[in-house]
Amino acid sequence: MYNKLLEKIEAYDKIIIHGHKRPDGDCYGSQLGLKGIIKASFPSKLVYVVGERCEYVSFLGEMDEITDDMYENALVIVVDTAVSDRISDQRYSKASYVIKVDHHLPVDDYGDMQLVDTTLPACALIIAEFMHKCDLNITLEGAKALYTGIVTDTGRFRLPGVNSRVFALAGLLLDKGVNVEEIDNNLSVETLNTIKLKGYVLLNFQITENGFAYIKMTRDVIEQFGVSDEEASSMVSLLGTLETCPSWGLIMEYPGNEIRIRLRSRGPYVDKLANKYNGGGHLKASGASLPSFDALDDFLKDADKLVKAYKENGTLEFSE
């Protein structure tokens, strides 16, 4: 599949790289990293990255602004996006050929070609392996982007799926000149408002009867602390160290009354629970959505049921 991807890149003079709505570090890093590979390996090609800005990793670079006519006779590569309705900038369908590159469990086989590897915990790892297997070059900026994508989606190499293959690919990027201290400094700096929001979360999270921890974050809370949606949603990691809570979530209200849930676990699988609530993802890291906060009680009952079955019987999968 890497060779097929390379063949398509070689066949097009114009390549546009898309990611998903509300991009995270892995999405942003995969987009900019792939751009760095193509520009270093094929300098004459036109390469653009489009979509929403990710404030958290904006130090890596910015998205490009392009007109509709740029999609004519273009190749589009969509990274880190499981389903087509989550693609940021729906103009992707105007391209001559669309390739999906992803590491999430397959849900929507959109595009003309799919390169999906669910064994890797970050899409940036797929891009890095593509570079390595096809013996391609990369700019220093692209290497920084890929390394950042790997670091953020693996929880700084602490989450499930991290193995020697992951470290080997990360090592290849270090060999390209990536400065680990520089990346870590950029990722670790927080605003005073973000630190205050952490205090709010630690004071206000709740736990269901059997040990599902969660924090409900409404728009007024986010606005009260003056943080971005990215900063607010990152608070889900705070609940991951509770001894009696093997699974946890952040229920957050976005503009337009959109309610999204970030689900995490260090025990039971949460992907099928997410599937029930219009979402999906990885076994221990998924996303879901609710039509309104009125549906939250039903979700919490199911989440509590999942945790109870795990604690009592070691059951991993969610079932009705």
Does the pTM surpass 0.85? The reply is yes
List the strands of the sheet with 247-254, edge to edge.
206-207, 212-217, 247-254, 258-265, 285-290, 280-281
Look at the domain 192-313 and name its fold: Diaminopimelate Epimerase; Chain A, domain 1 (3.10.310)
46 pLDDT above the threshold of 90: yes
Q: Give CATH 3.90.1640.10 domain extents, the chain.
A: 2-188
108 pLDDT above the threshold of 90: no
What ranges in 21-122 are assigned the alpha helix state H? 25-41
- pLDDT tens column, 15-38: 999 999 989 999 999 999 999 999
Q: What is the pLDDT of residue 44?
A: 97
Q: Write the CATH number of the domain with boundaries 2-188.
A: 3.90.1640.10
Residue type, 193: N
For residue 255, the tally of other CB atoms under 10 A from its CB is 8
Rounded CA Rg of the chain:
20
210 pLDDT above the threshold of 90: yes
Taking Cα atoms as reference points, which of 114, 79, 106 lies closest to residue 5?
114
* Residue 4: its H or E element: helix 2-11
- pLDDT tens column, 118-158: 999 999 999 999 999 999 999 999 999 999 999 999 989 98
d(CA 206, CA 213): 6
Q: Where are the beta strands (DSSP E) in the chain?
A: 14-18, 46-49, 75-79, 97-102, 113-116, 206-207, 212-217, 247-254, 258-265, 280-281, 285-290
d(CA 316, CA 125): 27
Residue type, 10: E
The count of residues in the chain is 320
d(CA 183, CA 150): 11
Q: Give CATH 3.10.310.30 domain extents, the chain.
A: 192-313
- pLDDT-based confidence at residue 105 (cuts at 50, 70, 90): confident
Q: What is the pLDDT of residue 314?
A: 95
Q: What is the pLDDT of residue 182?
A: 96
- pLDDT-based confidence at residue 106 (cuts at 50, 70, 90): confident
